[in-house]
Structure 1
C-alpha cells in the first residue's frame, strides 16, 4: 500500500471511529458500552484475523481446552477489547465506574497511599486484562495521579484522540520512546506513581516464562523499582458481574532483588489472573513471537 493510500485509509478509519463514538455518546453509558462493544466485537472482529490469532495462541499454551471453550473465548475476547476502548473514551462515566470498584487487597492499597504520601515512587504493573486503565482511574479518584506509558498507535489521526482520552483518566501520559521514557523517569523520581503494562512483546527484553512458554518481556519496571527504590506491585482492573463493573485487584509489593526474578514474578501474577478469567485477556496479541526473527509460533 502506498503512503498516500495508507494515509487516506487511516483518516477514514479515524473518522469512522470518531463518528461511532459520537453516536454512542448520545446513549446512556451502560447502553453505549454494551451496544458498541457488541457491534465491534461480534460484527467487525470476525472479519479480521483476530479469531485465528486467538485460536493459535490457545493451541500453543492451553492445548487441553475444548472446542466449545475455544469458540467462546474467540467470541468474548474481542468484545472485551472493544468494551475497554469504549470505556476509555467515555470520560466521567468510566471514571465514576472505576472509582466505585470494590478493592481486593485493601492492605496493598494502603501501602500505595503511604508510599505516595511519603514521596516514594510507586510502579503499578498490569497487563491487557479486564480494563487496564481501572487502576489509574481508581487511584486518581483517591487523589493520586497515576502517569502511564503508552505505545502510540500507528494511525496518527486516531492516536491524537486516544492519547487525549487516556490522559483525561489520569495523567501525565508518556508515549513510548526515548523522550517519553525520560519524562516518565523524571516523574517517577519526583515521587510519582506510574502504571506499566508488562505483556507486550519487547525486542529489548528477555525470554521469561508465561503460560509455560518463553515470552520476551521487558525488565524495565523491575529495574526502575530497584534503581529508584520504588514500591512495585501488580494491579488489575478485573471485570465483575455483567462485565460493566470492576474489582480493583492489588497484590503484595515485590521485594527488590534480581530484576529478571522480579519480572518473572510479575508474569506469574498476570498468568494467574488470566487463568482465572480467560475471557478477559487479549489473546490476539503476538505474545510468544520471537522478536529477533525466530519462527512465528503464535499465528
Structure 2
C-alpha cells in the first residue's frame, strides 16, 4: 500500500471513528428504550475503537505495523477501553521510539557454545595438581614423556587416591607405564605385608595379654590398611576382610572398650555388605566415646544400605555444614 493510499485510508477511518465515537457518547444521553443504553454504548464504542485502530495503525512507522493482526488487535483494545487517548499514547510512543532509537547491540558480540573439557590440555593447567596429574596419566594422547613424569609425581600421593588409577594403568599400551604402576602397587603392598609378617611372628611368641591385644589390634589395622588403600581385589580382598575382622574381634575379647576397633569392625561389615552388623558396631563405638562427627557418615551409610532414608537425612543434617568435611558437604546438603 502506497503512502498516499495509506494516508487516505487513515483519514477516512479517523472520520468514521469521530462520528461513531460521537454516536456512542450521544447514546448515553438518550432515554432508555427497548435497548439498554449501556449495551448500545459498548457496541458503538467497539466500532469506534476499531475505526481508531485502523487510523492509528496507518500512521505508525512501518516497523511497528507488524505483525499486522496483533498490532491491530492491540490498538483496538487500547482505543476501545481508553477512547481516543489510548491510540494517541501508542502513536506518540512509537513515533518517539522511531525518532530516538535505543543504541543497537554491537555486531561483534555473539553467543558462544559452552566449552568442553579436553583432557589433553590439562597439562597446561597450573592448579589442581593431583587431578591434573591423574587426568594426564589417563589420557593416552599425551606424550609418553609427560605421562611418565606424571606417574612419577603421583607416587608421592596416598595410594588410597591413586590405587584405582594405578590398577587401570597395568593394561596401559606403554610398557614403561605398566612397569612403574606395577612397581608402585607392589611396593605399597609389600611394605604392609612385611609389617604383617613381623607382627604375626611377634604374636606367636608373646604370652602377655596386653602385648597380645596390641599385636592383634595392629594386625587388624594392617589388614584393614590393605583394603583401605585398594591394594587387594577379588578373593584376596574377601580374605583380607576376614583376617582384619578376625584380629579385631580377638583384640576386643581382651579389651572390649577399644572404640577404634569397633569402628574398624563396622567399616569391615560395610565392605562385606552387612549394614545391620555395621550399624551395631559403629553405634557401640559411639557409646564408648568415639567422636560422633567422625561416626555419623558411617552410620548414615549403614542406614542407607538398610533403606532407612529418613534416618540418613536426620544424621547428616545433624552434622551441619560447619562440621562436615569438604568432601561430605555436597552429601550433607543433598540429604538435609
TM-score band w.r.t. shorter chain:
under 0.3
Q: Work out which structure has the larger RCO, using CA pairs closer than 8 Å and 6 or more positions apart in sequence.
A: 1
Higher helix share: 2
TM-score by length of 1: 0.25
Structure with greater Cα Rg: 2
